[in-house]
């Protein structure tokens, strides 16, 4: 009899894994009503047009990064480390929102096992309906194939047997919304920053950078901005007397987004005489176009041209042991 396991689904955005994947990845992104609200009847045709136009522009980002986003590999490494830490009572899979492995792929992999509970764990520490909310909605749509409310559903053939396994519909599903103020997560961020800092960091300015969002989403009640500000405050409690601020990057399209923008803030700081900058990405836990291209390449070069003496970009957490510990603790607490 196969052992029942708890399924852990790591949720992330996904990134193109080749240059040919850029346009379909962008099409999936712009087709998502949770991230961009184009009137529903025309959302897909408009998504097709924008994705064609934007793919031409973003191709150069991905060329500079070696032809693809490293996000998938790094997320799979996080999943593998978490699986090792959790052991055989758990099955960890990855569900990406806009490129492979999609939610369907994660679910079909998960239900190779006998699953007694599912925990959805976003790789977004701060909640936004455009990221975590969108991944939860996609999961809800796709899981219906596997779990039919109030009925028994034939799901899969158990690994190593020929017998179909019948899942009862009432598998509990736990959704972890956010962990922006989780003490282990804050500790991971603090340790990770200290590991990349020169010994005497007193005259360095810490510039936190988070993904921007259309302002309207915040005005409609999205907690992302408040949560991001709290994360920054909790980190800075560990660096008394270090000057710091928070800026937002990666605006797309014409509407008003959260400001100040990271590039404008870098310019302001350097002009005001802060020439030693430590740039800390706060809403990302793996590398991708917005850290490697936008931060390192675009803004790093800009800072040098403006006369920065030092531009240290703190790496994202990836498989930092304290971050994997954070994920493990979140899973165990919700098991
Ligand atoms: C269209 C609006 C967008 C919103 C709102 C948005 C929010 C948002 N995104 C991330 C994290 C990532 N986004 C990434 C790429 C990306 N995002 C958008 C658009 C919106 N994001 C686009 C069009 C793209 C593609 C790249 C580009 O054309 O500029 C990525 C990187 C993917 C990769 O390369 O691996 C991440 C990560 C967050 C955290 C967020 C809101 C809080
Ligand atoms: Fe994005
Ligand atoms: Fe973005």
pLDDT of residue 159: 46
Q: What confidence tier does 168 reach under pLDDT thresholds 50, 70, 90?
A: very low
Q: CA 265, CA 246: separation in Å to the nearest integer?
A: 9
Contacts of 306 (CB under 8 A, 6+ apart): 266, 267, 270, 271
Domain regions of the chain by residue span: 4-179+323-333, 183-318
Mean pLDDT throughout 27-33?
A: 98
Asked if residue 132 has pLDDT above 80, the reply is: yes
Phi, psi of 295 (to 5 degrees): -75, -55
pLDDT of residue 149: 58
Q: pLDDT tens, 282-313?
A: 999 999 988 888 898 899 999 999 999 999 99
**Ligand 1, pocket residues at CB < 6 Å:** 13, 15, 26, 29, 35-36, 54, 58, 69, 71, 124, 128, 130-131, 211, 213, 224, 252, 283-284, 288-290
Q: What is the three-class DSSP state of 144?
A: coil
Nearest ligand by distance to the CA of 30: 1
Fold of 4-179+323-333: Rossmann fold (3.40.50)
CA triplet 250, 251, 256: central angle to 5 degrees? 155
Q: 211: annotated binding-site residue? A: yes
Provide the token pair at 156.
């899969």
Nearest ligand by distance to the CA of 23: 1
Which stretches within the chain are classed as H helix?
Answer: 22-30, 40-64, 71-86, 103-110, 132-143, 183-196, 215-219, 224-236, 262-271, 300-306, 321-333
DSSP 37-51: ---HHHHHHHHHHHH
Q: pLDDT tens, 218-272?
A: 999 999 999 999 999 999 999 998 999 999 999 998 899 999 999 999 999 999 9
- CA quadruple 130, 131, 137, 142: dihedral sign: positive
Fold of 183-318: Rossmann fold (3.40.50)
Residue with tokens 């998960």: 110
Q: Which of 11, 13, 293 to probe ligand 1 with, by most ligand atoms within 8 A of CB?
A: 13
Asked if residue 156 has pLDDT above 90, the reply is: no
Counting every residue written for the chain, the total comes to: 335
Q: For residue 226, which of 187, 171, 180, 172 has the smallest C-alpha distance?
A: 180
Q: What's the chain's average pLDDT?
A: 91
Over pLDDT 90: what percentage of the chain?
79
Asked if residue 101 has pLDDT above 90, the reply is: yes
Q: CA 38, CA 307: separation in Å to the nearest integer?
A: 42
pLDDT of residue 202: 75
Q: Which of 29, 33, 255 to probe ligand 1 with, by most ligand atoms within 8 A of CB?
A: 29
Side-chain-side CA neighbours of residue 24 (13 Å): 8
Q: What confidence tier does 172 reach under pLDDT thresholds 50, 70, 90?
A: confident
Phi, psi of 55 (to 5 degrees): -60, -35
Nearest ligand by distance to the CA of 59: 1
Asked if residue 151 has pLDDT above 90, the reply is: no
Question: Model pTM?
Answer: 0.93
Provide the token pair at 22.
């850029």
Ligand 1 atom nearest the C-alpha of 65 is: 34
Q: For residue 208, which of 231, 192, 181, 186 has the smallest C-alpha distance?
A: 231
pLDDT of residue 146: 81
pLDDT of residue 157: 47
Say how many Å lie between the CA of residue 212 and the centre of ligand 3. 8
Q: 320: annotated binding-site residue? A: no
Contacts of 323 (CB under 8 A, 6+ apart): 78, 185, 188, 192, 285, 317
Q: pLDDT tens, 180-217?
A: 999 999 999 999 999 999 877 778 999 999 999 999 99
Q: CA 215, CA 213: separation in Å to the nearest integer?
A: 6
Asked if residue 161 has pLDDT above 80, the reply is: no
């Amino acid at each position: 009899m196969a052992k029942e396991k708890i399924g852990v689904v790591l949720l992330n955005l996904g990134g193109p894994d080749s240059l040919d994947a850029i346009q379909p990845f962008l099409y999936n992104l712009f087709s998502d009503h949770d991230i961009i609200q184009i009137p529903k009847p025309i959302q897909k045709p408009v998504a097709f047009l924008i994705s064609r136009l934007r793919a031409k522009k973003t191709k150069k980002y991905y060329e500079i990064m070696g032809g693809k986003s490293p996000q998938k590999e790094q997320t799979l490494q996080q999943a593998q480390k978490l699986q090792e830490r959790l052991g055989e009572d758990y099955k960890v899979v990855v569900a990406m929102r806009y490129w492979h492995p999609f939610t369907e792929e994660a679910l079909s992999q998960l239900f190779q096992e006998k699953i007694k509970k599912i925990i959805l764990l976003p790789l977004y520490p701060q909640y936004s309906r455009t990221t975590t909310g969108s991944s939860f909605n996609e999961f809800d749509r796709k899981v219906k194939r596997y779990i039919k409310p109030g009925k028994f559903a034939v799901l899969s053939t158990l690994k190593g047997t020929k017998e179909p396994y019948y899942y009862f519909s009432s598998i509990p599903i736990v959704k972890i919304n956010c962990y922006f103020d989780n003490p282990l997560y804050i500790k991971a961020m603090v340790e990770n920053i200290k590991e990349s800092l020169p010994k005497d960091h007193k005259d360095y300015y810490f510039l936190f950078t988070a993904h921007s969002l259309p302002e309207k989403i915040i005005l409609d009640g999205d907690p992302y901005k408040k949560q991001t500000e709290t994360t920054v405050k909790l980190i800075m409690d560990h660096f008394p007397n270090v000057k710091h601020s928070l800026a937002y990057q990666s605006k797309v399209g014409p509407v008003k987004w959260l400001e100040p923008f990271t590039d404008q803030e870098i310019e302001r700081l350097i002009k005001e005489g802060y020439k030693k900058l430590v740039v800390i990405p706060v809403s990302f836990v793996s590398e991708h176009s917005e850290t490697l291209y936008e931060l390192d390449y675009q803004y790093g070069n800009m800072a040098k041209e403006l006369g920065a003496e030092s531009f240290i970009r703190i790496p994202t957490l990836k498989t930092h042991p304290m971050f994997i510990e954070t994920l493990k603790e979140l899973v165990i607490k919700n098991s």
